[in-house]
């Protein structure tokens, strides 16, 4: 059904839910997702109104429903996620797909926070499995700001369920996320990790998001999602400063940009979706013109390696030699750093090499490894999208490794 939906000219998401739950009894400091159990009729009523307004994809009330965040509440991930999916499916009434909503864990992965990648992966895995078991049609990963956390979330969903993945980051007025991630880096990495659609939600109003969306459109061939806020809330009344008609007016230019999937985030309501549908009924989507080349990236830097000629493995015999060689390239001004990972390294040493390089250089990486085991250990540590080469692995095996870790084979 999702493939059929994406064949349409435009697809309509829903709008805010936490904002509306506050108007229906959610108190400051209370968890919105607990209302799936304590007040399911309230959640269902809000989501039913979105379905009636024309939303074709409705997200569940489960943004932060991970085991770490739910600890001490008396509820399990299975209980909250299961209830959330059931409510949304009832509210949709066959008119819309149910998207399991997954958001930031609440603590960043190292070095920005205290969590490890594997701990984050496990938390997302539990949510994804619970959502699929409850009958979700897809997963919507949203309001993300760390590319490494996105990697954990997408991999957790794709490696443990059959659910398609939509993924959205949130950007500030600088055009980057809180951790500094560039829109292009996000788009390149998410597509290579196997996302079905990607885009932007939250933080900004439609007009403010537009230049950021332009960069994403040029960096991916996937359907683009835009779910902005209704401006900013009044500090006294809490009312957002953009109404439904103005919101739809600011959203209209996204059709000519080639954006396919539209909706709203904080401050938006079913009335906003009605206006969006009415406005977009008279529009046609532009064809997306993706930029060429073969880009690789970190969160902060992007380089085109289309004409790169892979060099033979350098003679390095230890982790320290691999690190020093890579950092020397970076210090000498190389736009791309080639990291040689000899077969003499074990998995822990390969991970140490990459971690050490990334803490001292933000250049995109090309990994040349003797063995697949060493290569995968290194890739596990990389937030962005590197290039890889491995004489010791067959082409099919190397392609599978690249798909799992969001890399590109050279």
User: Residues marked as binding for Zn(2+)?
Assistant: 202, 265-266
Q: Which two tokens stand for residue 386?
A: 């590197």
Whether the CB-CB separation of 200 and 212 falls below 8 Å is answered with yes
Say if strands 57-59 and 97-102 run parallel, antiparallel, or are unpaired.
parallel
**Closest alpha carbon to 155 in 112, 111, 109:** 109
Q: Which of helix, strand or coil describes residue 166?
A: strand
Binding residue ranges: 202, 265-266
Q: Is 273 exposed, middle or buried (0-12, 13-18, 19+ CB in 10 A)?
A: buried
SS3 29: coil
Residue pair 49/15 in contact by the 8 Å Cβ criterion: no
Query: Tokens representing 78?
Result: 């299975």
Bond from prior residue into 111 cis (ω within 30 degrees of 0)? yes
* Angle in degrees, 0-180, between the axes of helices 40-53 and 270-280, rounded to the nearest 10: 20
Whether 103 and 142 have beta carbons less than 8 Å apart is answered as yes
How far is C-alpha 370 from the geometric centre of its chain's CA atoms? 31
User: Which one, of 328, 352, 330, 353, lies nearest residue 340 by Cα?
Assistant: 353
């Amino acid at each position: 059904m999702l493939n059929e939906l994406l064949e349409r000219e435009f697809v309509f998401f829903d709008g805010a839910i936490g904002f509306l739950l506050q108007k229906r009894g959610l108190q400051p400091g209370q968890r919105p997702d607990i209302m799936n159990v304590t007040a399911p009729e309230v959640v269902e009523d809000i989501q039913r109104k979105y379905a009636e307004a024309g939303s074709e994809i409705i997200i569940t009330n489960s943004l932060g429903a991970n085991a770490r965040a739910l600890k001490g509440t008396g509820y399990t991930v299975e209980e909250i996620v299961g209830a959330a999916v059931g409510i949304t499916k009832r509210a949709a009434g066959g008119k819309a797909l149910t998207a399991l909503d997954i958001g930031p864990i609440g603590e960043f992965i190292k070095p920005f926070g205290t969590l490890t990648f594997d701990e984050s992966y496990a938390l997302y895995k539990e949510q994804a499995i619970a959502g699929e078991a409850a009958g979700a049609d897809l997963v919507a990963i949203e309001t993300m700001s760390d590319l490494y956390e996105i990697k954990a979330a997408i991999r957790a969903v794709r490696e443990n369920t059959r659910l398609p993945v939509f993924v959205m980051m949130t950007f500030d007025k600088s055009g980057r996320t809180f951790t500094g991630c560039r829109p292009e880096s996000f788009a390149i990495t998410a597509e290579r990790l196997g996302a079905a659609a990607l885009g932007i939600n939250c933080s900004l109003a439609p007009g403010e998001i537009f230049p950021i969306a332009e960069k994403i459109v040029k960096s991916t061939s996937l359907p683009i999602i835009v779910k902005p806020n209704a401006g900013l809330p009044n500090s006294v009344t809490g009312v957002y400063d953009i109404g439904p008609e103005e919101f739809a007016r600011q959203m209209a230019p996204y059709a000519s940009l080639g954006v396919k999937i539209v909706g709203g985030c904080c401050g938006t309501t079913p009335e906003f979706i009605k206006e969006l549908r009415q406005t977009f009924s008279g529009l046609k989507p532009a064809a997306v013109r993706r930029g060429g080349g073969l880009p690789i990236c970190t969160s902060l830097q992007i380089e085109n390696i289309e004409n790169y000629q892979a060099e033979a493995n350098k003679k390095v015999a230890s982790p320290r030699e691999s690190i020093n060689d890579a950092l020397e390239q970076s210090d000498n001004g190389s736009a791309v750093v080639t990291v040689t990972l000899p077969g003499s390294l074990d998995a822990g040493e390969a991970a140490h090499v990459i971690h050490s390089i990334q803490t001292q250089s933000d250049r995109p990486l090309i990994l040349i490894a003797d063995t697949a085991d060493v290569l995968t250990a290194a890739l596990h540590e990389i937030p962005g999208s590197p290039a890889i080469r491995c004489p010791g692995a067959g082409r099919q095996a190397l392609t599978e490794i690249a798909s799992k870790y969001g890399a590109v084979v050279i």
